[in-house]
């Protein structure tokens, strides 16, 4: 916590005080008991996520839009008919605040965030609140997915001056953009233990009039403290810490928090955390002959299995919801995010590589089937998210999970057919309900449904193995599998007639880069060309619609227009570090999956642009935003946490290692070392906060394998060797196809490739480490043996 206590009248603390206004640890359940900000307590509060009210037009014709009507963001458009004089983030708002000497009210959220919509309905649609905000403040709305830099800066303030953060995030700023009060969701009215939004506004208005100088001094003091605290730099250090030590400490910290019974690493709410699973797989590989290595593998595989069996997975339509509100992965927060699908597809593909269990490959295929069906745009890009809420029937108010939950009656009516050969009278519906735990009263606890929206309804979650369900009714396992799959398909067809959740059709470069990786890696592992084609189309979309050839820069966002078109904001929103890092990773994965060198060439150009725009030449590592784009913001940050998405610096460290392996360019290896050195203190202090960077640190201090396949890319023997490599979990490698052309892009980067020859005119593999290559190998089984050593 930062700063000293400063009162805004009785019962309200500035967040520079220890108690603060902001509550809500990021990711709290949308059904926690305390759903509001409290004065005396900063207990659990939801961090955004549930549904949006999907209409972006006035509910009555006489309403007049505010200036947000001219924006492209679905989130901003959802506020375009509020009686609030909203401004988008920009100079016009800042100039007004300075000219009129008013504080800025900054409200940040995203289009599928439940508590953002709750606050909009309760407060921002309120005429009195609209007058207060318009007369005494300059009100600014920000879509956190459009402007992650703004979100990160002020979330840093809210988290540092309170017990947590979340969305909606509401922060009051000086005209110079320095924060002085912050919080998350505020109810409209005061409660016994909470402060209402009206009260907050009135007290801040009063304090701005009476104690403005004190507020300005406090904001400067807190900003200075945040600036010092958030600095990440090499300092006097020359080298990063020991990878082996950080690896071991990160594993031990994860092991201590592991849930033996249900998997995962918390009581509730429970998040998928693919970065942790990726770390555990990597740890297993380098410790596979030890007890800790076996433990790491078991932790990751068990977590993935329990998640896939739980209600966090949509068993009817596939894909994963955002998180589980309980320890058992049973009742989810029903929102579906693109970045989760992308990372989980890779995690399940890796689980299949390691275990050989087709359960995991089936889950990966299901995830990508969902994305292709529901999140793919005609242009080849991928939309951001689907909401948690939807109307149970057309014309009704949206409700939590309405699209996804079932009553016993619905299932019985859809699946009335008797099951032949069962040891007792049994219908297909009864079989499915037994296997997936459906009950007449519903399988959702009232404590997880305080509003009663899900009473009598069920979330499908696997209660028994196929073998146990088959034994219970005296049936063959394969017969049960077929009956359940047929039943799920009938539920899927019936669900098509329900009103769908709102689709956030905004397309982000960063999340599209992750999705390119998801399709490319899974397609390569499973040998499915159609999945690689989705990745290729995604990369083409990024180059066509989100890349400015003249400047060599990526754009952050574009939007689905009418008739399958793609629209951009004017002026464009330029890319942030995560856009470059995630797209470069996607292109490297796509090159290895498709062996199309044009994607590798574009990755190199984007890495050059990233280095030019974001690299800290003094302290090492990458800033999250361009210097010009973030002009005026009190902080320029380097993201130092691998969370729901990996830190862009963690991903960049991996990218630099891989690019060095593809090109031999020493500058990229030097940058990788500087980056890891800059994060040394954070790695030493809390390695579990950066498991993806710990993985990069270990990879840097081990030896990267250059696996070279010499052959015709269309020939069967070449494809056999490539598929052999793809089938094995080898995270610390680059896969190179050498087609014998000395003038090819890769041969120009790595001259030694021209010295490698095919053996007896057959496709031939070489495994190179430390500038030395293995003997030539032509048989996939021999290559497999070598790679497993």
The number of beta carbons lying within 10 Å of the beta carbon of residue 498 is 15
Alpha-carbon gap, residue 725 to 148, rounded angstroms? 37
Cα separations in angstroms, 609 against 72, 145, 597: 26, 22, 19
The answer to whether residue 669 sits within a structural domain is no
Tens of pLDDT, residue by residue over 696-711, are 999 999 989 999 999 9
Average pLDDT over residues 588-599: 97
Determine contact, residues 122/188, Cβ cutoff 8 Å.
yes
The answer to whether residue 627 sits within a structural domain is no
The answer to whether residue 19 sits within a structural domain is no
Which pLDDT score is estimated for 235? 87
Token pair 């052999």 in the structure block, residue:
724
Cβ partners under 8 Å of residue 572, min gap 6: 548, 555, 556
Which pLDDT score is estimated for 162? 80
Run of H or E including 705: strand 705-710
Alpha-carbon gap, residue 13 to 7, rounded angstroms? 5
pLDDT value at 675 more than 70: yes
Tens of pLDDT, residue by residue over 730-779, are 999 999 999 888 889 999 999 999 999 999 999 999 999 988 999 999 99
Instruction: Name 743's bridge partners.
Output: none
Cis before 269? omega within 30: yes
Which pLDDT score is estimated for 451? 77
Query: What is the count of structural domains for the chain?
Result: 3
Cα separations in angstroms, 67 against 37, 128, 177, 560, 563: 29, 19, 21, 21, 25
Cα separations in angstroms, 318 against 310, 375, 436, 469, 580: 12, 12, 15, 21, 29
Alpha-carbon gap, residue 111 to 185, rounded angstroms? 15
Which token pair is 200? 């907050």
Same structural domain for residues 199 and 282?
no
Last residue of a domain, one of 504, 524, 554: 504
Run of H or E including 650: helix 648-663
pLDDT value at 610 more than 50: yes
pLDDT value at 165 more than 50: yes
CATH of the domain at 97: 3.40.30.10
The answer to whether residue 614 sits within a structural domain is no
Alpha-carbon gap, residue 710 to 504, rounded angstroms? 44
The number of beta carbons lying within 10 Å of the beta carbon of residue 563 is 6
Run of H or E including 735: strand 733-738
Cβ partners under 8 Å of residue 381, min gap 6: 507, 512, 538, 541, 542, 545, 546, 558, 566
pLDDT value at 17 more than 70: no
Strand order in the sheet with 566-567: 506-508, 557-560, 566-567
Same structural domain for residues 213 and 276?
no
Cα separations in angstroms, 350 against 282, 325, 702: 10, 26, 20
The answer to whether residue 6 sits within a structural domain is no
Average pLDDT over residues 275-279: 98
Give the model's confidence band at 15: pLDDT under 50 very low, under 70 low, under 90 confident, else very high. very low
Cα 427-431-436 angle, rounded to 5 deg: 145
Alpha-carbon gap, residue 478 to 467, rounded angstroms? 9
Determine contact, residues 396/516, Cβ cutoff 8 Å.
no
The chain-wide mean pLDDT, for the chain, equals 90
The phi and psi torsions of 336 (rounded to 5 degrees) equal -120, 125
The phi and psi torsions of 767 (rounded to 5 degrees) equal -110, 115
Instruction: Name 174's bridge partners.
Output: none
Instruction: Name 458's bridge partners.
Output: 406
Give the model's confidence band at 24: pLDDT under 50 very low, under 70 low, under 90 confident, else very high. very low
Q: Which one-letter DSSP state was computed for residue 183?
A: E
Sequence-ordered strand ranges (E) for 345-455: 385-386, 389-390, 399-400
Same structural domain for residues 383 and 492?
yes
Give the model's confidence band at 62: pLDDT under 50 very low, under 70 low, under 90 confident, else very high. low
Same structural domain for residues 214 and 323?
no
**3-state secondary structure (DSSP) of residue 534:** helix
Alpha-carbon gap, residue 724 to 720, rounded angstroms? 6
Tens of pLDDT, residue by residue over 349-375, are 999 999 999 999 999 999 999 999 999
The phi and psi torsions of 665 (rounded to 5 degrees) equal -70, 115
Average pLDDT over residues 131-135: 97
Cβ partners under 8 Å of residue 62, min gap 6: none
pLDDT value at 49 more than 60: no
Which token pair is 301? 């595989």
Same structural domain for residues 224 and 287?
no
Last residue of a domain, one of 459, 488, 504: 504
Burial state string for 188-217 with b = 16 or more CB within 10 A and e = fewer than 16: bebeeebbbbbbbbbbbbebbeeeeeebbe
Q: Which residue has the higher pLDDT, 354 or 57?
A: 354
Alpha-carbon gap, residue 453 to 399, rounded angstroms? 6
Torsional sign, CA 679, 684, 687, 691: positive
Alpha-carbon gap, residue 551 to 569, rounded angstroms? 17
pLDDT value at 2 more than 60: no
Domain that holds residue 152: 67-228
Average pLDDT over residues 511-534: 98
Tens of pLDDT, residue by residue over 288-331, are 999 999 999 999 999 999 999 999 999 999 999 999 999 999 99
Torsional sign, CA 222, 227, 232, 238: negative
Determine contact, residues 422/494, Cβ cutoff 8 Å.
no
Run of H or E including 511: helix 509-526
The answer to whether residue 245 sits within a structural domain is no
The answer to whether residue 308 sits within a structural domain is yes
Alpha-carbon gap, residue 36 to 200, rounded angstroms? 13
Q: Which residue has the higher pLDDT, 161 or 588?
A: 588
| 138-143/87-88 β-pairing | parallel
Alpha-carbon gap, residue 356 to 34, rounded angstroms? 44
Alpha-carbon gap, residue 617 to 223, rounded angstroms? 23
The answer to whether residue 519 sits within a structural domain is no
Same structural domain for residues 364 and 405?
yes
Cβ partners under 8 Å of residue 674, min gap 6: 234, 620, 621
Determine contact, residues 543/536, Cβ cutoff 8 Å.
no
The 3-state secondary structure of 73-86 reads: CHHHHCCCCCCCCC
Token pair 């930062």 in the structure block, residue:
2
Same structural domain for residues 214 and 265?
no
Same structural domain for residues 223 and 287?
no
Same structural domain for residues 185 and 289?
no
pLDDT value at 394 more than 80: yes
Alpha-carbon gap, residue 75 to 410, rounded angstroms? 34
Determine contact, residues 33/56, Cβ cutoff 8 Å.
no
Last residue of a domain, one of 455, 473, 504: 504
Same structural domain for residues 221 and 282?
no
Average pLDDT over residues 230-249: 92
Same structural domain for residues 374 and 451?
yes
Same structural domain for residues 201 and 122?
yes
Alpha-carbon gap, residue 304 to 753, rounded angstroms? 39
Tens of pLDDT, residue by residue over 438-469, are 999 999 999 888 778 899 999 999 999 999 99
């Amino acid at each position: 916590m930062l700063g000293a206590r400063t009162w805004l009248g009785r019962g309200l603390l500035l967040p520079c005080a220890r108690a603060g206004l902001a509550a809500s640890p990021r990711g709290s359940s949308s059904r926690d008991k305390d759903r509001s900000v409290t004065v005396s307590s900063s207990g659990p509060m939801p961090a955004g996520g549930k549904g949006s009210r999907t209409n972006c037009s006035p509910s009555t014709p006489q309403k007049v839009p505010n200036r947000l009507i001219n924006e492209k963001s679905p989130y901003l458009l959802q506020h375009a008919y509020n009686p609030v004089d909203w401004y988008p983030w920009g100079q016009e708002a800042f100039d007004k605040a300075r000219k009129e000497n008013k504080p800025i009210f900054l409200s940040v959220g995203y289009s599928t965030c439940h508590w953002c919509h709750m606050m909009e309905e309760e407060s921002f649609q309120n005429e009195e609140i609209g007058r207060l905000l318009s007369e005494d403040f300059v009100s600014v709305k920000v879509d956190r997915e459009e402007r992650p830099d703004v979100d990160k800066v002020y979330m840093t303030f809210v988290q540092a001056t309170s017990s947590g953060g979340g969305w909606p995030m509401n922060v009051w700023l000086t005209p110079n953009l320095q924060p002085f009060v912050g919080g998350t969701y505020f109810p409209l009215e005061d409660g016994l233990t909470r402060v209402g939004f009206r009260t907050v506004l009135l007290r801040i208005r009063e304090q701005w009039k009476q104690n403005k100088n004190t507020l300005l001094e406090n904001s400067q003091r807190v900003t200075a403290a945040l600036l010092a605290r958030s600095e990440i730099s090499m300092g006097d250090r020359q080298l990063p810490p020991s990878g082996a030590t950080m690896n071991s400490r990160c594993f031990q910290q994860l092991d201590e928090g592991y849930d033996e019974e249900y998997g995962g690493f918390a009581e509730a709410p429970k998040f998928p955390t693919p970065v942790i699973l990726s770390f555990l797989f990597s740890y297993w590989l380098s410790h596979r002959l030890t007890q800790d290595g076996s433990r790491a593998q078991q932790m990751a595989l068990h977590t993935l299995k329990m998640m896939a069996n739980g209600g966090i997975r949509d068993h009817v339509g596939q894909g994963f919801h955002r998180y589980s509100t309980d320890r058992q992965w049973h009742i989810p927060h029903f929102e579906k995010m693109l970045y989760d699908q992308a990372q989980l597809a890779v995690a399940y593909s890796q689980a299949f590589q390691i275990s050989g269990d087709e359960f995991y490959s089936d889950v990966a295929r299901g995830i990508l089937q969902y994305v292709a069906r529901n999140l793919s745009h005609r242009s080849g890009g991928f939309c951001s998210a689907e909401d948690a809420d939807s109307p149970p029937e057309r014309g009704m108010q949206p409700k939590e999970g309405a699209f996804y939950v079932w009553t016993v009656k619905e299932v019985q009516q859809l699946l009335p057919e008797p099951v032949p050969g069962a040891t007792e009278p049994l219908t297909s519906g009864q079989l499915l309900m037994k296997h997936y735990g459906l009950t007449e009263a519903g399988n959702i606890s009232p404590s997880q449904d305080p509003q009663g929206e899900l009473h009598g309804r069920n979330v499908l979650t696997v209660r028994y193995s196929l073998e146990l369900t088959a034994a219970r009714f005296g049936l063959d396992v394969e017969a049960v599998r077929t009956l359940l799959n047929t039943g799920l398909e009938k539920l899927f067809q019936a669900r098509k007639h329900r009103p769908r959740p709102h689709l956030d059709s905004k397309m982000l470069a960063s999340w599209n880069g992750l999705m390119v990786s998801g399709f490319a890696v899974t397609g390569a592992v499973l040998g499915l060309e159609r999945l690689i084609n989705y990745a290729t189309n995604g990369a083409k979309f990024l180059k066509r619609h989100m890349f400015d050839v003249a400047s060599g820069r990526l754009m952050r966002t574009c939007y689905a227009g009418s008739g399958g078109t793609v629209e951009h904001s004017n002026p464009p929103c330029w890319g942030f570090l995560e856009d470059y890092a995630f797209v470069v990773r996607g292109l490297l994965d796509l090159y290895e999956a498709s062996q199309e060198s044009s994607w590798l060439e574009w990755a190199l150009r984007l890495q050059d642009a990233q280095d030019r725009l974001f690299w800290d030449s003094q302290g090492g590592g990458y800033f999250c935003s361009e210097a010009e784009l973030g002009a005026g913001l009190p902080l320029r940050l380097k993201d130092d946490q691998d969370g729901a998405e990996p830190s862009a610096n963690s991903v960049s460290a991996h990218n630099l290692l891989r690019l060095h392996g593809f090109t031999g360019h020493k500058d990229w290896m030097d940058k990788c070392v500087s980056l890891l050195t800059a994060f040394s203190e954070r790695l030493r202090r809390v390695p579990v906060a950066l498991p993806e960077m710990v993985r990069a640190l270990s990879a840097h201090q081990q030896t990267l394998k250059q696996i070279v396949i010499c052959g015709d890319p269309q020939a069967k023997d070449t494809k056999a060797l490539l598929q052999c490599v793809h089938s094995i979990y080898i995270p610390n490698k680059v896969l190179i196809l050498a087609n014998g052309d000395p003038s090819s892009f890769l041969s120009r980067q790595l001259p030694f490739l021209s010295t490698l020859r095919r053996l007896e005119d057959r496709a031939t593999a070489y495994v190179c480490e430390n500038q030395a290559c293995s003997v030539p190998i032509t048989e996939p089984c021999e290559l497999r043996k070598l790679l497993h050593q």
